[in-house]
Amino acid sequence: MNKLVMTLAALLLAPLVALAAGDAVKLDRAPIDERDALSLQRGARHFVNYCLNCHGANYMRYNRLQDIGLSEQQILDNLVFTGVKVGDLMKTAMDPKDAKEWFGTAPPDLTVTARSRASHAGSGADWLYTYLRGFYRDASRPSGWNNTVYPNVAMPHVLWELQGEQVLKAATVQGPGYPVEVQKLEIARPGTLTPLEYDRMVADLVNYLHYMAEPARADRKLIGVYVLAFLALMWGLAYLLKKEYWKDVH
């Protein structure tokens, strides 16, 4: 009986434990704008150049990028490098077996990552934006890198030449009445981009990942507005019709 009670208590407390674990890292707000076509185009270029070598987007086709203002020829000239057709899926050329041997686990598909990473702590875009800016040097890890958002991550920091090398240092800040020790990231070796330029580059990439997770999001929202407007109009007509039918009764 005691064992059963303990099991039920553990199941009830599990969400609370997960909640506490999720609050360990404060996510930064991702400055995304799905209406910014230029940002989405830059993000698509960053995705192809830096992400598609290892990660696939197996539910996204190249020709869907026409929705963000690119022509079919622009897609072929600037974003297709493996000889595939513009209507093909955005698959990685890396063999999953090789990836597992090199990294310890196969890199995940990124098509809907911006949706799957959403939580009470922030949106999936917030998670990605903080994650891509949270890498730091860690000699204890096989890749030499670790991450503040995803501790002991297997992925190396593929953007380190742009951002530079960060280190995690302890710092003391003034808390509510007493000093508190926190961990802060500091640039130990600058990259080719300034911190502001790197943040903007990551914002464009995350903006594209956010778009890729649901390319029809803007259309869905617009259709929702039309549906609500139609229902409001029909409600008005139905009310007038009801008054007309019941005018002699009332």
Q: Is the pTM of this model over 0.75?
A: yes
DSSP 68: G
Q: How far apart are CA 107 and CA 229, in angstroms?
A: 44
Provide mean pLDDT across the span 165-176.
Answer: 81
Residue whose C-alpha is closest to residue 201's, from 4, 51, 24: 51
Protein fold of 30-232 = Cytochrome Bc1 Complex; Chain D, domain 2 (1.10.760)
The two structure tokens encoding residue 238: 């139905």
Quick one: DSSP state of residue 107? P
Q: Are 152 and 146 in contact (CB under 8 A)?
A: yes
% the chain with pLDDT above 70: 89
pLDDT in tens, 208-218: 999 999 998 88
Q: pLDDT tens for residues 58-108?
A: 999 999 999 999 999 999 999 998 788 999 999 987 887 887 787 778 889
Helix ranges (DSSP H) in the chain:
2-22, 37-46, 72-78, 96-103, 113-116, 124-131, 160-163, 195-213, 217-246
- Separation of alpha carbons 78 and 160, rounded Å: 23
Greatest CA separation found in the chain?
Answer: 86
- Tell me what the mean pLDDT of segment 137-163 comes to: 94
Label residue 222 by pLDDT band (50, 70, 90). confident
- pLDDT value for 33: 92
